[in-house]
Structure 1
Amino acid sequence: MSTDAREALLRSAGRLFYAEGITATGVDAVVRSAGVTKPTLYAHFGSKAGLVAAVLHRRHEDRRAELEAWLAPRPAAEHPLAVFDWLQHFYAERGERGCGFLNAAAELAGPDGVAPGPDDAARAEVRAEKAWLRGLLTAGCAASGCREPERLGSQLLLLLDGVAGRAVVEGREAAAEAAVQARQAADVLLSACR
């Protein structure tokens, strides 16, 4: 199987799922955009649900690499606030629809929010992304001398997710400003936790 076709499908689906929504984007639109056939999509991913999970996995890998590169020159104790700086930068340049993981979670939730089904692998990717980010924040809080790093890491993730919500409701520019405000709130929380 062609890795070029797989990459084209991941790029096209990632762009379309983020811009248009997962449920609103059919496989016909994805294969047309990628310049491949439906059998090629199914050969690589098995189903649309498999493609969604793969797109979210790739998005996580990309975001992780980008954020880790942003944080690399900074001491670990500075990471929690630097994440908010990265977020402000992200929304200043892109991120029109907020957090792709939160958007996916909202679209893929069953009637009770966790009903098993074909989207389980995609939901697992969302949970993995958020767990990784919470862990990154927690490690930075611990390095900064915070007494309760797990609790503060969770609180900081709530602030980050709130910024993503602002992007959905008010747009990318409002989210960039919200990231600055969230950083200020995070600084207060970090100071109080030491």
Structure 2
Amino acid sequence: MHRKTQSRTRLLAAAESVFYDQGIATTNIDTVARAAEVTKPTVYAHFPSKSALAAAALTARHARRRAELDTRLAAAGPGEERVLAVFACLGAWYERGGHRGCAFVNAAAQSPADDEILGAAREEKQWLHDTLTELCAEARLTRPDLVASQLLLLIDGVAGRVAVQGHPAAAGAIEAATRAAKALITAAGGRS
């Protein structure tokens, strides 16, 4: 791998970790550079600003989450099982990490006036809404867009609970959200 590509890869990984653990607003570029074991000029050779670095780190996280969900959806059965696979994927993610909730919600809350960061967060949430809408339509639920919006509220609610109550609350929040999702699916004409 080319040295410049290695530096960029390390920077993205470090930024993703440090910004998630410490917050975007409270973390400076020096901290990310140290974590990536690069110099500050190297950071700016790859990213013109902290906002650009944070947005790129969010985009990299989104790509991994998307690939993980695509794999899980490919293994799920048809209909409502595919809708509920989103919650199973969420549960697996919180089992592995997720100690501060959703990186995208956190980023939006920490940087409400930063168009680059907010744009990356909005893009991920729009993708998730669109994916849920498509899954609800495949499951032949009535008003798939509305049900998708309600399911996304449940997902973001899990993130909020974890952010406020800590990672130990994740399993219970996911279980409650999954039960609520099943009720929404049933109410929208699905079987669960």
Query: Taking structure 1 as the reference length, what is the TM-score of the superposition?
Result: 0.92
Using the alignment, how far apart are the partners of 1:89 and 1:36 within structure 2?
A: 32
Match of 2:75 in 1: 73
Using the alignment, how far apart are the partners of 2:108 and 2:62 within structure 1?
A: 14
Using the alignment, how far apart are the partners of 1:129 and 1:15 within structure 2?
A: 18
Residue of 153, 156, 163 corresponding to 1:168? 163
Q: How does 1:43-122 map to 2 (within 5 A)?
A: 43-77=45-79, 78-110=81-113, 119-122=114-117
Match of 1:148 in 2: 143
Residue of 34, 37, 40 corresponding to 1:38? 40
Write the deviation string for residues 23-51 of structure 1: whole angstroms up to 9, x where unpaired: 11111111111111111111101111110
Write the deviation string for residues 51-100 of structure 1: whole angstroms up to 9, x where unpaired: 01111111111111111112211135222111111112221221000000
2:105 counterpart letter in structure 1: L
Match of 1:181 in 2: 176
User: Once superposed, what is the RMSD of the aligned Cα atoms?
Assistant: 1.1
1:153 counterpart letter in structure 2: A
Using the alignment, how far apart are the partners of 2:45 and 2:121 within structure 1?
A: 24
Match of 2:15 in 1: 13
Q: State percent identity of aligned pairs.
A: 48
Match of 2:186 in 1: 191
Q: CA deviation at 1:147?
A: 1.2
Write the deviation string for residues 118-167 of structure 1: whole angstroms up to 9, x where unpaired: x2122111111001001111111111111100000000000000000111
Using the alignment, how far apart are the partners of 1:35 and 1:132 within structure 2?
A: 33
Using the alignment, how far apart are the partners of 1:153 and 1:76 within structure 2?
A: 17
Runs of at least 4 residues of structure 1 off by over 4 A?
A: none
2:19 counterpart letter in structure 1: F
Match of 2:152 in 1: 157
Alignment: residue pair count: 186
